[in-house]
Amino acid sequence: MKKEQLLDMYHQMVLVRRVEERGMELYQAGKIGGFMHLYIGQEAVGTGLIAAREDRDRVITAYRDHGVAINCGISADEVMAELLGKVTGMSRGKGGSMHMASVEKNMWGGHAIVGGHLPIAAGLAIRDQYEGNDNVTICMFGDGATNIGYFHEALNLSKAWGLRVLWVCENNQYGMGTAVERASAVTEIYQKADGYAMKSSQVDGMDVMKVYEAAKEAIDYVRKEGQPYFLEIDTYRYQGHSMGDPERYRSRDEVKKWHEKDPIGVFNKYLIENKIASAKKLSEIEASVEEEVEKSIEFAETSPEPGMDELFKHVYVEETSA
Amino acid sequence: MAKITMREAISQALMEEMDRDPNVFIMGEEVGVWGGSYAVTKGFYDKYGPKRVKDTPIAENAIVGGAIGAAMAGLRPVAELMTINFAFSAMDYIVNQAAKLHYMFGGQFTVPLVIRTVGGGGRQLGATHSQTPDAIFAHFPGLKVVSPGTPEDAKGLLKSAIRSNDPVFFIEHATMYQVRGEVPDGEYLIPIGKSKVQRAGKDLTIVTYCKGLELSMKAAEELSKEGIEAEIVDLRTLRPLDMEPVLESFKKTNRAIVVEEGWKSYGVGAEVVSGITEEAFDYMDAPVLRVAQKEVPLPYNRALEQAALPQVPDIVATAKEVLR
């Protein structure tokens, strides 16, 4: 990989984290409503994975989507504006935290029903198969989604029909507050792919370079073979499931242990040790992120609220009298 | 004007649209090699091949969810759910995804999807396979719900549904595929969201749709023998509901009944009666009454099943009641 791309990945990871840390403050200040699920701790997953895609490859994910939106090239401004419910957000303030998307950036949402977007991902891939191209649809979901029926129907269809989907399970160890081993009959989640005769592998999701390499290989396989692939990426969320999680299901020691493998720290060290960037250069990136996030908050706060005419807009594409 | 069956009308609509637009394709259980469980897509697999006539696993979430994804990405799928009773398995995709994606993402996504399905009782299939739960689907903004009662309407409305950029839930009736009716020669479209007067009359208004139309037409003939002329307004589309022809007719007749095959509680009739009360209260000479299914799961036994379903004599009797 080129130095510029590596530094861009570092920039993305720091940006995702800072957008969310500031988002937390705004949430606590009452400026962001609803549910907000933070990606902090999981930044290497989205960053490494999406760095490995070509622009023509589609991405679709669940509701923990701010990071993935930024990884796909959506600006911090738009993410912040959507969080604040402003009309300048990518979903015009009508989607919120869980519904970030951009057709232009080939980012197909932001879906809030656990596992619900998996059959939709298969459908996106149906289009590409119909067109006869070899675009890949990258579908991300949590470990919790692998226990719901949608998962089975989607994986089965993708293999039966030879759809180009890269199924990516972000295993952050808990479905809400229920640990994997308390909810799933199979605790090595990648093994679930065996039930569909689908190739699979598992990778450390705290190391962005490992994620990138594994994703590159998996995407190449899907593209060349015209078959789906299942990639489990093991990671950890530092914050609660969503804002206001009492976190009775895990210990402080456990959280601390994962902090020691912090993906930004790991990548920072990698870049310095391999002489890709100096500590000073990385500090400069961090400083530029501060500025970018500050500006995004200003953009969001000064953006207009959606007008009341937005209430009835987009119920249907075609105007109806009802 | 050719006289064709409902089955032929729907089949023709599908074929004409598939010939017109290469992005239109069919997916569902047994739509291909088998030829469709109600033989609507017989011959399609041989004509269009497996790319455009896709046999799916028995997996309703994959059928509707997959069709939604394909529609978002630019195709025009016609997803078939073998019966409306199986639509419950795919409920999340119908009401939570298809109906909401355009709005929730601020207009970024469109879902030009048709879900064709078959409802209705009267075939002794037992409680889980005989339902007419149309009103449930009509509850959700974002979805269009169509349920035609004649071959002419079925063909013209299905063609419009396929061309619509919104998701359309298209409900056919299991006992009506052999119903014959005249259809115009050549290509025609019937707009979604327009009710239609199917029979002119002056004494009372019968508001109905789908199977209810067939029954109401027969009832109107009975009433006519006694000198009562019923005007029949066919809703054809349940959402968006076009009340204009209903109100216009009611303002003339001042008396109405609503005939539907589904259960009375929280049903289509309840919606229509509310609309009349809200918009035409001053024209009301009698309470607006409803003819609907008895509040039981449909039994298998033929006599019991028929007793639970609305029948022509029920319509005749109810019509006379509002005319008293």
Interchain CB contacts (distance < 8 Å): A and B: 145
> B260 catalytic, yes or no?
no
* B106–A92 C-beta distance less than 8 A: yes
For an interface test with B, the pick among A79, A130, A313 (most B C-beta atoms closer than 10 Å) comes out as A130
B186 interfaces chain A, CB cutoff of 8 Å: no
Residue A114 domain boundaries = 3-312
Q: Which residue of A has its CA nearest to B73?
A: A124
Residues of B in contact with A161 (CB under 8 A): 54
> B129 catalytic, yes or no?
yes
> What are the extents of the domains in chain B?
2-183, 196-323
Residues 37-66 of A with CB under 8 A from B: 58
d(CA B95, CA B91): 6
* B106–A95 C-beta distance less than 8 A: yes
Is the CB of residue A297 less than 8 Å from the CB of residue A80?
yes
Among B8, B17, B29, B60, the active-site one is B60
- Structure tokens, A212: 């990138």
* A123–B67 C-beta distance less than 8 A: yes
A240 interfaces chain B, CB cutoff of 8 Å: no
* A153–B108 C-beta distance less than 8 A: no
* B103–A94 C-beta distance less than 8 A: yes
ipTM of the complex: 0.95
- Percent of all residues in chain B with a pLDDT value above 90, rounded to a whole number: 100
Residues of A in contact with B71 (CB under 8 A): 123
3-state SS of chain A?
CCHHHHHHHHHHHHHHHHHHHHHHHHHHCCCCCCCCCCCCCCHHHHHHHHHCCCCCCEEEECCCCHHHHHHCCCCHHHHHHHHCCCCCCCCCCCCCCCCCCECCCCEEEECCCCCCHHHHHHHHHHHHHHHCCCCCEEEEEEHHHHHCHHHHHHHHHHHHHCCCEEEEEEECCEECCEEHHHHCCCCCHHHHHHHHCCCEEEEECCCHHHHHHHHHHHHHHHHHHCCCEEEEEECCCCCCCCCCCCCCCCCHHHHHHHHCCCHHHHHHHHHHHCCCCCHHHHHHHHHHHHHHHHHHHHHHHHCCCCCHHHHHCCCCCCCCCC
Is residue A319, in this structure, part of any structural domain at all? Answer: no
d(CA A217, CA A208): 14
d(CA A250, CA B245): 63
What b/e readout covers A88-105, taking b as 16+ CB neighbours within 10 angstroms?
bbbbbbbbbbbbbbbbeb
Total number of domains constituting chain A: 1
Say which CATH number the domain at A209 has: 3.40.50.970
For an interface test with B, the pick among A114, A141, A314, A319 (most B C-beta atoms closer than 10 Å) comes out as A314
Please indicate whether the domains covering B2-183 and B196-323 agree at the CATH topology level: yes
Residues of A in contact with B70 (CB under 8 A): 123-124, 126-127, 130
Question: Running DSSP on this structure, what letter comes out for residue B139?
Answer: T
Nearest 5°: the CA angle A258, A261, A262 is 95
* A99–B65 C-beta distance less than 8 A: no
Q: Which residues pair with A169 in a beta bridge?
A: A141, A232
- Tokens 């029926």 identify what position? A149
A185 interfaces chain B, CB cutoff of 8 Å: no
Is residue A173, in this structure, part of any structural domain at all? Answer: yes
Instruction: Find the CB nearest A157 among B57, B97, B112.
Output: B57
* Low-confidence residues of chain B: pLDDT under 50: none
B275 interfaces chain A, CB cutoff of 8 Å: no
Q: Which helix (H) or strand (E) holds B305?
A: helix B302-308
Residues of A in contact with B102 (CB under 8 A): 314-317
* Low-confidence residues of chain A: pLDDT under 50: 321-322
The pLDDT value recorded for residue A318 is: 80
The pLDDT value recorded for residue A320 is: 58
- B138 Cα to chain A: minimum distance (Å): 12
Contacts of A311-314 spanning 24+ positions with Cβ under 8 A:
A313/B107, A314/A92, A314/A94, A314/B102, A314/B103, A314/B106, A314/B107
Residues 188-217 of B with CB under 8 A from A: 193
CATH code linked to domain B2-183: 3.40.50.970
B196-323: what CATH class?
A: alpha beta
* B240–A322 C-beta distance less than 8 A: yes
- A131 Cα to chain B: minimum distance (Å): 9
